[in-house]
A and B are shown apart, each in its own frame.
Chain A
Amino acid sequence: MKYYTKEHEWLSLDGDVAVVGITQFAADALGDVVFVEVKPVGSTVVALEAVGVVESVKAASDIYTPVSGEVLEVNSRLADDPGVTGVEPEGAGWLFKLRIADASELGQLLDEAGYAALVGASGGH
Chain B
Amino acid sequence: MTVAEATLLYTPLHALHLARGGRMTAFAGYEMPLQYAPGILAEHLHTRAAAGLFDVSHMGQIELRPRSGDVLDAALALEGLVPADIAALGVGRQKYGLLTNTEGGILDDLMIANLGDRLLLVVNAACKAADLAHLEAHLSRTCSVEALEDRALVALQGPAAEAALARLAPAVADMRFLDVREVELLGAACTVSRSAYTGEDGFEIGLAADRALDLARALLEAPGVLPVGLGARDSLRLEAGLCLYGSDLSSSTTPVEAALEWTIQKTRRPGGARAGGYPGAAIIGGQLASGAARRRVGLRPQGRAPVRAGARLFASEQAPEPIGSVTSGCFGPSLNAPVAMGYVDVGHSRVGDGLFAEVRGARLPVVVAPTPFVPNTYRR
Binds B, one of A12-20, A31-39, A69-77, A99-107: A31-39
Selected contact of A57 from candidates B23, B304, B305, B331, CB within 8 Å: B331
CA distance A82 to B304 in the complex (A): 10
Give the chain A neighbours of B231 by CB distance below 8 A. Answer: 31, 57-58
User: Which parts of B331-370 form the interface with A (CB within 8 Å)?
Assistant: 331, 333, 338, 360
Asked whether A125 and B306 contact (CB < 8 A) given A34-B41, A34-B331, A57-B330, the answer is: no
Q: How large is the interface on B (under 10, 10 to 19, 20 to 34, 35 or more residues)?
A: 20 to 34
A57-B41 in contact (CB<8A):
yes
- Residue A56 at the chain B interface, CB threshold 8 Å: yes
Known: A34-B306, A125-B23. A58 touches B234 (CB 8 A): yes
CB distance from B227 to the nearest CB of A (A): 16
Other-chain contact of A31, B35, B306, B308 (Cβ < 8 Å): B35
Q: Mark A82-125, 1 if CB is under 8 A from B, else 0.
A: 10000000000000000000000000000000000000000001
| Contact A56 B331, CB 8 Å, known A32-B39, A37-B305 | yes
Give bound CA distance, A34 to B303, whole Å: 12
Which residue of B has the minimal Cβ distance to A37?
B305
The winner among A32, A58, A60, A82 for most chain B CB atoms within 10 A is: A58
Known: A32-B42, A125-B23. A55 touches B35 (CB 8 A): no
In contact, A57 and B308 (Cβ under 8 angstroms)? no
Q: Is the CB of B308 within 8 A of A60?
A: yes
Q: How far is the CA of A42 from the CA of B331 in the complex (A)?
A: 29
Question: Does A53 lie at the interface of the complex (its beta carbon under 8 Å from any beta carbon of B)?
Answer: yes
**Residues in A neighbouring B333, C-beta threshold 8 A:** 34, 57
Flag if A53 contacts B360 (CB, 8 Å): yes
Contact B304 A58 (CB under 8 A): no
Chain B CB within 10 Å, residue with most, of A34, A37, A82, A125: A34
Given known A31-B40, A32-B39, A35-B304, contact A57–B360 (CB-CB < 8 A): no
How distant is A26 from chain B, measured CB to nearest CB, in Å?
14
Point out the residues of chain A lying under 8 angstroms from B305, CB to CB: 35, 37, 55
Bound together, the chains give a CA A55 to CA B364 distance in angstroms of 16
- Decide if B237 is an interface residue (CB 8 Å cutoff): no
Which residues from B are CB-within-8-Å of A125? 23
The CA of A56 and the CA of B41, in the complex, are separated in Å by 9
Whole-angstrom distance between the alpha carbons of A125 and B229 in the complex? 16
The closest CB in chain B to the CB of A60 belongs to B308
Please, which residue of chain A has its CB at the minimum distance from the CB of B1?
A123
A31 touching B304 in the complex, CB below 8 Å, given contacts A53-B360, A57-B231, A58-B330: no
Judged by a CB distance under 8 angstroms, whether B268 is at the interface is: no
* B235 interface contact, C-beta 8 A: yes
Complex partner residue of A35 from B39, B42, B306, CB under 8 angstroms: B306
Complex CA–CA separation, A125 to B305 (angstroms): 27
Query: In the complex, what's the smallest C-beta–C-beta distance from A73 to chain B, in angstroms?
Result: 20
Indicate whether A57 sits within 8 Å of B235 (C-beta atoms), given known contacts A34-B331, A35-B331: yes
Task: Give Cα A45 to B231, complex, Å.
Answer: 34
B79 to chain A minimum Cβ distance, whole angstroms, is 38
Contact B39 A55 (CB under 8 A): no
How far is it, in angstroms, between the C-alpha of A95 and the C-alpha of B304 when the chains are bound? 17
Closest to A31 in B: B39
| Interface bits B35-64 vs A (CB < 8 Å: 1, else 0) | 100011110100000000000000000000
Interface string of A23-60 (1 = CB under 8 A from B): 00000000110110100000000000000010111101
In the complex, which residues of chain A have a beta carbon less than 8 angstroms from the beta carbon of B40? 31-32, 56-58
Complex alpha-carbon distance, A82 and B306, angstroms: 13
Q: How far is the CB of A59 from chain B (nearest CB, A)?
A: 8
Q: Which residues of B contact A82 (CB under 8 A)?
A: 304
**Closest beta carbon of chain A to B102's beta carbon, Å:** 35
Residues of B within 8 A of A35 (CB): 304-306, 331, 338
Contacts of A56 in B (CB 8 A): 40-41, 331
Question: Can you list 17 A-B pairs, Cβ within 8 angstroms, ordered by A?
Answer: A31-B35, A32-B40, A32-B41, A34-B333, A35-B305, A35-B306, A35-B331, A35-B338, A37-B305, A55-B305, A57-B41, A57-B235, A57-B330, A58-B235, A58-B330, A60-B306, A60-B308
7 nearest CB pairs, A to B = A32-B41, A34-B331, A57-B40, A31-B39, A57-B331, A58-B231, A32-B39
Q: A31-B41, A55-B306 are in contact. List 8 more A-B contacts (CB 8 A).
A: A32-B41, A34-B331, A34-B333, A35-B331, A56-B331, A58-B40, A58-B330, A60-B306
